[in-house]
């Protein structure tokens, strides 16, 4: 099978970002700098405000791994942005959108300092962990559409 990674991140139905939102129960409000299906970063809301610890626990349960949380403030989280995989470079743009937290797959040293300076809670939830649901949804779609079998082989990656 031939696959293209980036279009799957942003796809409006089978994309990693949309699928993560579905698994987490997040309300998708818009794409940042683009329509849903084009934008790499999505903006949305939690069904109810929660603490960073509660969001971290929820992420851990859904992704089967605890995210690394960098605290940027002490208020409850309601408005969020997320981008699966390596998206930590969007942190300043995300902070300017006015959300309470940003969830991504990876983190770099500068991300820690920027989150604190910008007052934005940041969750590094794992590149592989955040991007496994899109390919599963695509596989299920292709299996149904073409009457073929598909199997997702999940190989744990600690980062």
In a domain, 16, yes or no: yes
Find the radius of gyration of the CA atoms of the chain. Answer: 15
The answer to whether residue 106 sits within a structural domain is: yes
Q: List average pLDDT for each run of 10 residues in the chain, which is 159 residues long.
A: 70 96 98 92 98 99 98 97 97 98 98 98 98 94 95 89
Q: What does the block give as tokens for 126?
A: 């794992």
pLDDT value of position 7: 80
The pLDDT assigned to 3 comes to: 53
CATH number at residue 13: 3.40.1390.30
Whether residue 42 is contained in a domain is answered as yes
Question: Which residues constitute the domain of residue 114?
Answer: 5-146
- Domain count across the chain: 1
Q: What is the pTM of this model?
A: 0.94
In sequence order, what are the residues at sequence separation of 6 or more whose Cβ sits closer than 8 angstroms to the Cβ of residue 102? 80, 81, 82, 90, 91, 94, 95, 115, 120, 121, 122, 123
The pLDDT of residue 81 is 99
> Is 153 within a domain?
no
What pLDDT score was predicted for residue 1?
53
Tell whether 152 is covered by a domain. no
């Amino acid at each position: 099978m031939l696959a293209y990674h980036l279009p799957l991140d942003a796809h409006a139905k089978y994309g990693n970002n949309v699928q993560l939102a579905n698994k987490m129960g997040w309300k998708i409000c818009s794409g940042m700098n683009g329509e849903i299906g084009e934008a790499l970063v999505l903006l949305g809301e939690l069904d109810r405000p929660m603490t960073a610890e509660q969001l971290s626990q929820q992420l851990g349960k859904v992704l089967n791994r605890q995210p690394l949380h960098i605290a940027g403030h002490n208020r409850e989280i309601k408005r969020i942005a997320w981008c699966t995989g390596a998206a930590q470079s969007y942190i300043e743009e995300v902070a300017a959108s006015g959300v309470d937290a940003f969830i991504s797959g990876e983190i770099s040293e500068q991300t820690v300092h920027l989150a604190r300076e910008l007052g934005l809670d940041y969750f590094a939830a794992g590149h592989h962990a955040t991007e496994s649901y899109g390919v599963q949804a695509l596989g299920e779609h292709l299996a149904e559409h073409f009457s073929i079998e598909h199997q997702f082989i999940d190989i744990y990656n600690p980062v």
